[in-house]
Structure 1
Amino acid sequence: MANPTLADHTWEPELRAALAAVEDGLVEATRSDMPFIAEAARHLARPGSRRLRPLLVLLAARFGDPGAPGVVPAAVVVELTHLATHYHDDVRHETNASVAVLIGDFLFARASRLLAGLGPRAVRLQADAFKCLVTGQILETTGPSDGHDPVAHHLRTLAARSGSLTAVSGRLGALTSGAPEEVADTLAVYGERLGVARHLAAELRSPIHGAPTLPVLLSGDPTAPAMTEARHEMLRQCAAAREALTPLPTGPARTALAELCDTVVQTA
């Protein structure tokens, strides 16, 4: 998947510094006295990897005090959680299962330690998001019930599995920066729609036959009409994300969030 960052000219020095601080935080969080764990964790958290969720935290914080002490730790927390889910996905796909469990749990533990310093509400928000993410993984594993629309089931699964962490990223950025509650609600809606759109864009790039991707679910095979219909759904999700930004104050942060929608469309 293409890097979800924006064009370099849109970054001011403060945001660049915050992104660098997130990288430093990830390096620190993946330290371990056990070389095997440290190496495995750092491999996935290596610099230059995609950092959409931390980016959302930092942009959300622009609607409050972006320099507040909890903002960068919140960005590190959501990325550690995202990385941990990658390792646990290996368990579900039965590759290096025991290693994946250990590394994933290690990252979850480090995220939890940081999260505890952000206060009880941040802990509850992250716990709710993680519950939603796991629910999405269960929905993906079990598939739709008899008589239920598989396409609707798939979109519900993506909202839970892919949208939960992008949604809570906006909420945590708003919370830790002291932004108004209505801003947090807006960013959560935006984040969920953006998360779904990005996953659909990935499915358009790799519509594997037989896999539960939208193009396949629409026709049983990634045919041209199915791909077109799936692309329309991805565009609809992007439009919904952009529309969700309407209540936010105009300015560089809102513009950057809107540009992320454009990036999704360009990478599909």
Structure 2
Amino acid sequence: MTPTPSIIRRRTLGGALGLGDALFASSEEKSFARAIEAGLEKVEAGLTTQLAFADDIADAAGRYLLDAGGKRVRPVLALLTAQLGEGVNDDVVVGAQAVEITHVASLYHDDVMDDAQVRRGVPSAQTVWGNSVAILTGDLLFARASKLIASLGDRALTIQADVFERLCLGQLHETVGPRAGDDPIEHYLSVLADKTGSLISCAAVIGVIFSNAPEEYREPVETFGEKVGVAFQLVDDVIDLSSEIGQTGKAAGTDLRAGVPTLPLLYLRREAEGDEAAAALLSRLEGGMDADADPAAFADAVAELRAHPVTAATIAEANRWADDAVAALAPLPDGPVKTSLTRFAQAIVERSG
């Protein structure tokens, strides 16, 4: 039997966010869970409506990655932090939709720049329609997100503009790479904060602001969102090395082969400066990035990198960012919101297992 969208979303809440049955022991906690699920169903319905276009090509391309799936991490965070105020209202739902559409739009552009062949287990948009249509579709979705956020007023527009600027700067800095004298690892973490952390942070802030929660809750959730966003991407760096295609929707080492920098590779480059074995592995990995390289030899090198201490070091770094994210929540009141955000941060790093 095929699960319905609402059942799939409940599995998302129960799994990815750590909102399992054990959490909802009291009637208050069960009510909390129902409020999040009901809000997410409204967000989903709105996303379907907002990404429908009269033009046939725009309609098909605009809904393509949305229909392919996604964790809906950002909308759920907005719905969660809204519980610090008056709960999920129409403004929170609109803000959550705008953040998710912005995220999806960025994927179209990322895949063009990375020449990615697969996204969410399906061929990437530019492999279906070409680079120009994929780029224009991303632009179209950014425009739709801007229209949504504009309906919430000047404050929302400023928040979105700040995030959009960081998304662009993060992509720019990733593209040009570190300058002479820059630490490549610090540069990479800064890119992750801009490209991933900023939008997750934005979602958490939207929940606070548009639920009319106390202003003093904004900074803790803002910091939490950015730090957990970096942890999220670092774990994705590890998952990219996984041989389980079902976990990633793509073959192991896809990001590496596309030339996308990841923390395990950056750690290995640092070790290779004084370690012959690390240098040899690095040479095999970099040689495997050529289009005519032997896929089997590259797969062996990726498996060796997965078992190398640099990957364990990446997981440890992800844990540090997740721990810092949880520590930022200290000013929040005890209760299901704080508990859920804490478990979410823990679940992020457990994905690498």
Aligned residue for 1:45? 66
Aligned to 1:233, which of 290, 297, 317? 317
Aligned length in residues: 267
Matched, 1:153 2:202: no
Structure 2 distance, partners of 1:177, 1:212, is: 38
2:328 alignment partner AA: A
Task: Identify if the C-alpha distance between structure 1 residues 49 and 182 changes in structure 2 by more than 3 Å, giving closer, same or farther.
Answer: same
Structure 1 distance, partners of 2:59, 2:17, is: 27
Aligned to 2:41, which of 12, 17, 20? 20
Structure 1 distance, partners of 2:347, 2:114, is: 29
Comparing 208-217 and 21-30, the one that deviates more: 208-217
1:198-237 counterparts in 2 under 5 A? 198-207=232-241, 208=253, 209=256, 211-220=260-269, 221=282, 222=305, 224-237=308-321
Gaps of 5+ in 1: none
Structure 1 distance, partners of 2:49, 2:18, is: 26
Aligned residue for 1:118? 152
Matched, 1:127 2:161: yes
CA shift digits 1:5-36 (9 cap, x unpaired): 44453562221110000000100101111122
- Give the drift of 1:258: 0.8
Are 1:238 and 1:261, in contact at CA under 8 Å, matched by a contact in 2?
yes
Aligned residue for 2:6? none
- Give the drift of 1:66: 1.2
Structure 1 distance, partners of 2:149, 2:36, is: 22
Aligned to 2:344, which of 254, 260, 265? 260
Structure 1 distance, partners of 2:260, 2:349, is: 22
Aligned residue for 1:242? 326
What is the alpha-carbon root mean square deviation over aligned residues?
1.8
Task: Identify if the C-alpha distance between structure 1 residues 80 and 123 changes in structure 2 by more than 3 Å, giving closer, same or farther.
Answer: same
1:97 alignment partner AA: N
Higher gyration radius (CA): 2
Percent identity of the aligned residues?
38
TM-score (norm. length: structure 1): 0.94
TM-score (norm. length: structure 2): 0.72
- Give the drift of 1:148: 1.2
Structure 2 distance, partners of 1:260, 1:40, is: 31
Gaps of 5+ in 2: 1-10, 24-31, 116-125, 242-252, 270-281, 283-304
Aligned residue for 1:29? 50
Structure 2 distance, partners of 1:212, 1:27, is: 33
Are 2:61 and 2:134, in contact at CA under 8 Å, matched by a contact in 1?
no
